Amino acid sequence: MQLIREVLEARKAAFGAWCVMDNSFGAELVGRAGFDWACIDMQHGHVTSSETLVPMLQALNRTDTPTLVRVPWKSDSGAIMRALDAGAQGVVIPMVDTPEEAALAASACRYPPVGERSWGPMRISMEVEGYTPEAGNAIALCLVMIETSQGMARIDELLDVPGVDGAYVGPADLTISHGGGLNFRSDNAMLHEMAETVVEACARHGKLAGFHANGPAEAAHWAEVGFRLVAVTADAALIREGAQRALSELRECLDAR
């Protein structure tokens, strides 16, 4: 099993794709595309149960793609533990505002005595030979999302929480929460300034900086800014864009006849 921590050690930036559709075959296609990592979205995506999550993790594990899970909500410790037990190598925690919320998530990611994760590594123990509580603690990534005005204001406090491995910028909610409109791209000066602040804070604390980019060009830009875990696209976006491109090419061919 390729570990996302090893990928990050080997690369200046690791580029991934999100899976928002509740489909294991779609997840396998994302894995076979060759992304450095994937993330299954249980907050805004259509993946709403373990019955769907497990087959998707199985498909991604088969392609040796390190996979994270964005859990439904920041206070759902049970969802964090289930995702890690099922084969995820880390979790993305949405809408984190306070150090207390960050600490709750971090504790759910780690076995005692450093956390409160309950022992029951159903699938992950089959993927990682010799799995132990210590191995589980070393593997799991806990990323808090920076996407609210309060979370942004308290970024240093959040990153100072033991067990928090990094901050992942959600540009849509972060921009909206600061009155920056519906422009979530790098040409939004307000967003860019906040993103740079997150990168600098992560550097101060020795933590990982992640960003949810909007397409390849944007992903390349944010990697240059200093983000090391960068989302490029999502399965649904790839289908929509591919379908639109095929139809446009067809119409051009027909018009040229």
Residues assigned a catalytic role: 44
Element spanning 58, H or E: helix 50-62
Residue 38 pairs in a beta bridge with 17, 67
Let me know: does 245 contact 218? Beta carbons within 8 Å: no
Cα distance between residue 167 and residue 213, in whole Å: 14
Dihedral angle computed from the Cα positions of residues 24, 27, 28 and 33, in that order, rounded to the nearest 10 degrees: 170
**Residue of 146, 241, 227, 155 whose CA lies nearest to 186:** 227
Kindly give, in sequence order, each residue whose CB lies less than 8 Å from that of residue 72, ignoring residues fewer than 6 positions away.
42, 43, 48, 79
Chain centre to alpha carbon of residue 102: 16
Question: How would you class 4 by CB atoms within 10 Å of its CB: exposed for 0-12, middle for 13-18, buried for 19 or more?
Answer: buried
Angle between helices 24-32 and 235-256 (to 10 degrees): 80
Q: Which amino acid is at 32?
A: R
